[in-house]
Amino acid sequence: MEPRKPYDIDSLTDVALRVFAERGYDGASMDDVARAAGITKASIYHHVSGKEALLERGLGRALDALFAILDEPASRDGRAIDRLRHIVGQVAETTLRLLPELTVLFRIHGASKSERNAVERRRAFDRVVTEIIGQAQRDGEARADLDPRLGARLIFGMSNSVVEWYRSGSLTRDAIARAVVAIAFDGITPRA
């Protein structure tokens, strides 16, 4: 067996996120992170000031990935309903690809400064999507009988819920992302 490469801040963040996702951020201690990394707590503090700094890096990764989706051409150009479809699919795919990061993001409740900042960025993301749903309604391409903010919450609620049950297994990430888009846009009943 090759000796393990020394940790750097990124690989330590990977370990910490898995621990936070499993035990909850509040329930996880730096001792838990050190144990999962197989190094001493002192070695961790060589790289990072503490638990909140690890959380902050993890939340940054999650939110940077979500906002990167909004910058993609398919999220910015074209009809609102098509932009929305692209965003929803990419959010689902990103959630599955960065599962520990997004799991931690979806569970925080704004107790610390890093958490409050992350909650603010999530709200900003939701506002962009709410605006796109509103535009799709004005275009006549999204149902008019839906509060756009509620629509955004429910669609992302569905997509975010994958962090509660997904384990790499029989269903591919792509199949799950497609099912999220299918239900969000067309529901489970067949179109005529």
Binding site for a second copy (CB under 8 A): 24, 26-27, 81, 106, 133, 136, 140-147, 150-151, 153-162, 164-165, 171, 175-176, 179-180, 182-192
By beta-carbon proximity to a second copy, the closer residue of 48 and 92 is 92
Going by the DSSP 8-state scheme, the letter that residue 164 receives in this structure is G
Rounded to a whole number of angstroms, the distance between the first and last alpha carbons of the chain is: 58
CB of 191 to a second copy, least distance (A): 7
Residue 159 in contact with residue 105, Cβ under 8 Å?
A: no
Residue number, 15 or 152, with CB nearest to a second copy: 152
Q: How far is the CB of 169 from a second copy (least distance, A)?
A: 12
Q: In terms of C-beta distances under 8 Å and separation of at least 24 residues, what long-range contacts does 14-19 make, across chains too?
A: 14/100, 16/51, 16/54, 16/55, 16/58, 17/54, 17/58, 17/100, 17/101, 17/103, 17/104, 18/100
Kindly tell me which of 69 and 162 has the beta carbon lying closer to a second copy.
Answer: 162
In the complex, minimum distance from the CB of residue 153 to a second copy, in angstroms, rounded to a whole number: 6
* Cβ proximity to a second copy, 120 vs 186, nearer residue: 186
